[in-house]
Amino acid sequence: MDMDKQKILIVGGSSGMGLALAGRCLEEGAHVVIAGRGEAKLSAARAELGNPASLETAVANVSREDEVAALFQRIGPIDHIVSTAADIEGAYRLLPDIELSAAQKVVDSKFYGPLLLAKHGAPKLAPTGSITFVSGIAAYRPASRGSVVAAVNAALEGLVRALAVELAPIRVNAVSPGWVDTPIWEFVAGEKKDATLAAMAKRLPVGRVGRPRDIADAIRFLIGNGFTTGETLHVEGGHRLV
């Protein structure tokens, strides 16, 4: 795929995997729109990416339907939609300690958000376009304190398969990362982040945890491969094997 002819919306593109993908797509000449909930983070991302003319930013909360609809009205026709957004703060709790409000934020950001992006974005997509969401290893290797995230990741992958049928020929896929060194680990492990990731690196067949660029490369494949739809691409260093 010739990326200099593509316009790509990346929700969650101001940090982590989304930011890495934005950089990758810009390097290839794509026009990129990164969307997020905060202007400050979007401005910081723009600066980190070198403030290119081919980059737009947009403030939008994807759990609010009116903001999603307004986002697509603002950016117009588009070729690809990607969402890496996830609000998991407070979600990693043992069952007796789970607060419904924290669980609802995960559902809103990782399930209803993608649903709304597909609903309002599909009419703006070219027939050769694609939608890519990010699920995660928790759906396959759940752990204590991770029941909410595991369930939402699994639900998202079910949504992907259904949308691939309903929205065809638009392609709809998911990437399922393993443990990736992103800012989200500040919420998951706090001050134990480095030790936790180092311990997992020793377990994995590849000998390290993921980097944002690893996931960006996988999403780039799904954007460009016109014969892949309804799939979940696992990029997790062999985590499902150990």
Question: CA 124 → CA 13, 130, 138, 231, distances in Å?
Answer: 19, 11, 32, 22
Q: What is the pLDDT of residue 192?
A: 87
Choose, from 14, 83, 135, 147, the residue flagged as catalytic: 135
H or E, element range at 194 = helix 193-203
Q: What is the pLDDT of residues 148-168, one digit of tens each?
A: 999 999 999 999 999 999 999
Across residues 24-38, what is the average pLDDT? 96
Residue 108: phi, psi to the nearest 5? -60, -45
Length of the chain, in residues: 242
Cis bond leading into 183, ω under 30°? no
Is the confidence at residue 189, as pLDDT, over 80?
no
Averaged over 132-153, what is the pLDDT?
Answer: 95
SS3 121: helix
Q: What is the mean pLDDT of the chain?
A: 95
The domain 3-241 having CATH identifier 3.30.1310.10: the answer here is: no
Residues with Cβ within 8 Å of residue 236, at least 6 apart in sequence? 137, 176, 177, 178, 179, 210
**pLDDT surpasses 80 at 190:** no
CA distances in angstroms from 171 to 22, 49, 73, 195, listed in the order given: 20, 28, 21, 39
For the question of residue 109 being annotated catalytic, the response is: no
pLDDT in tens, 44-80: 999 999 999 999 999 999 999 999 999 999 999 999 9
Mean pLDDT of all residues in 78-103: 94
